[in-house]
């Protein structure tokens, strides 16, 4: 009896020779090349099938065997209750390595992420040995980028680390659940539910931090939404552009609020457009009346959503724990909000901490009376 090894992935997959998927209904997408064959733990990889007489000539001879011995590599397993099935023992990508079906949970991209690789969508950890070029996406569990992140989108279910920083050009978005660690960032948006650490400087960035933010040297320009503690080592503010700090609120909920505001603005513009037609209600066409009523109903719903959202925001605020710690200089013009309390720095300061004292923002010195404790 001969057996055929049926694959539930492409055994001839080669990430060096990728082609965009062709769909008759849509144009070719050169950003999506399918760099890795993702599998989840428990996914079926291969099965044995007995060959009927005369069937051998009709199948790929490379996968015809006399015995049912899986070419089993790392990250795969055959369970006792289903001995004719090979499955993935972990999340990762599947491929043949030295003649064995193998699953690995670390994807090494040994080049830039660009038009040679396409976007990277991976279930496990990703190490990009080059840069992530503008317009591309990298998704993974934890992501390590050895070179520069340009105006790209990087999303991690755990952590993001970059060795050469972010030159975002206003288009970079990095989102991680647990932590973001970068040497510097320029013109980028950083979002995390946990902590963010910028070793050197953050320049003109929007930063959303669900816990604590550390900037080792300078924070200049942009907006920072931090739920708990901010530390800026050398200089806060200065240069061109406003520097705005908002503390005490869940930044993810503030992002939801900003999206609601954007939609409210669009709906309000639509209602103004209809009013500017200069016709009375009975002179509007049926289509115009329908559009107006739909916009009015949407506006009511948006305002209701906004009110409920702010109930959630206020229920989660933690103002007493908030502070901005600056052992270095604070330049005039920096705007600080802790809850509803607001302060605009009017004159240069140095070695100070900004605290919430119940109604206002208090300025105290030194910044760190107990060294090493934030």
Identify whether 129 is part of a domain: no
Same domain, 204 and 276: no
Q: Are 239 and 221 in contact (CB under 8 A)?
A: yes
Same domain, 30 and 88: yes
How confident is the model over 282-291, as pLDDT tens digits?
A: 778 888 889 9
How confident is the model over 243-283, as pLDDT tens digits?
A: 999 999 999 899 899 999 999 999 999 999 988 877 766 77
Q: In this predicted structure, what is the pLDDT of residue 371?
A: 63
Q: In this predicted structure, what is the pLDDT of residue 24?
A: 57
Pick from 174, 170, 184, 112: which is nearest to 142 by CA? 174
Same domain, 217 and 98: no
Same domain, 91 and 223: no
Average pLDDT, the chain: 92
Specify the pTM.
0.86
Q: Can you say how many angstroms the Cα of residue 278 is from the centroid of all Cα atoms in its chain?
A: 46
| Tokens standing for residue 140 | 């993974």
How confident is the model over 131-166, as pLDDT tens digits?
A: 999 999 999 999 999 999 999 999 999 999 999 999
Mean of pLDDT values over 169-195: 97
The answer to whether residue 22 scores a pLDDT higher than 80 is: no
Identify whether 279 is part of a domain: yes
Same domain, 310 and 259: yes
Identify whether 354 is part of a domain: yes
| Tokens standing for residue 335 | 């705007």
Comparing 196-200, 203-207, 289-293, 362-366, which segment has the lowest mean pLDDT?
Answer: 289-293
> Residue 26: pLDDT band by 50, 70, 90 thresholds?
low
How many structural domains is the chain composed of?
Answer: 3
Q: In this predicted structure, what is the pLDDT of residue 285?
A: 85
Identify whether 150 is part of a domain: no
Q: Which of 11 and 373 is assigned the larger pLDDT?
A: 11
| Cβ burial 41-77 (10 Å sphere, 16+ → b, else e) | eebebbbbeeeeeeeeeeeeeeeeeeeeebbbbebbb
Same domain, 226 and 275: no
> Residue 373: pLDDT band by 50, 70, 90 thresholds?
very low
Identify whether 181 is part of a domain: no
Cα angle 22, 23, 24 (rounded to 5 degrees) comes to 120
Same domain, 83 and 33: yes
> Residue 374: pLDDT band by 50, 70, 90 thresholds?
very low
- Domain extent, residue 38, equals 3-103
Comparing 25-29, 180-184, 244-248, which segment has the lowest mean pLDDT?
Answer: 25-29
Same domain, 305 and 338: no
């Amino acid at each position: 009896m001969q057996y055929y090894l049926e694959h539930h992935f492409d055994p001839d997959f080669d990430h060096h020779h990728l082609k965009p998927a062709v769909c008759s209904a849509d144009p070719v997408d050169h950003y999506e090349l399918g760099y890795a064959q993702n599998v989840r733990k428990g996914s079926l990889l291969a099965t044995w099938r007995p060959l009927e007489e005369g069937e051998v000539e009709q199948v790929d001879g490379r996968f015809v065997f006399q015995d049912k011995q899986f070419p089993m590599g790392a990250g795969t397993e055959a369970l006792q209750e289903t001995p004719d099935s090979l499955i993935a023992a972990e999340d990762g990508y599947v491929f043949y390595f030295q003649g064995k079906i193998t699953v690995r949970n670390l994807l090494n991209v040994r080049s830039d992420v660009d038009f040679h690789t396409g976007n990277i969508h991976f279930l496990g950890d990703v190490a990009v040995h080059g840069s992530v070029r503008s317009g591309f996406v990298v998704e993974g569990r934890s992501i390590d980028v050895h070179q520069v992140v340009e105006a790209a989108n990087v999303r991690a279910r755990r952590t993001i680390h970059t060795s050469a920083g972010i030159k975002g050009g206003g288009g970079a978005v990095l989102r991680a659940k647990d932590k973001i660690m970068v040497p510097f960032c320029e013109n980028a948006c950083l979002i995390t539910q946990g902590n963010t650490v910028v070793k050197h400087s953050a320049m003109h960035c929007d930063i959303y931090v669900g816990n604590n933010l550390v900037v080792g040297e300078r924070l200049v320009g942009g907006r920072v939404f931090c739920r708990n503690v901010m530390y800026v080592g050398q200089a806060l503010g200065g240069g061109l552009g406003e520097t705005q700090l908002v503390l005490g609120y869940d930044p993810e909920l503030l992002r939801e609020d900003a999206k609601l505001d954007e939609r409210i603005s669009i709906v309000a513009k639509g209602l103004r457009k209809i009013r500017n037609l200069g016709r009375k209600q009975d002179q509007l066409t049926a289509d115009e009346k329908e559009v107006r009523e739909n916009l009015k109903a949407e506006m009511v719903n948006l305002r209701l959503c906004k009110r409920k959202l702010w109930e959630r925001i206020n229920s989660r605020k933690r103002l007493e724990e908030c502070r901005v710690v600056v052992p270095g200089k604070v330049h005039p013009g920096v705007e600080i909000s802790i809850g509803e309390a607001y302060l605009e720095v009017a004159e240069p300061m140095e070695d100070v901490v900004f605290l919430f004292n119940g109604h206002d923002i208090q300025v105290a010195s030194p910044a760190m009376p107990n060294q090493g404790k934030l």
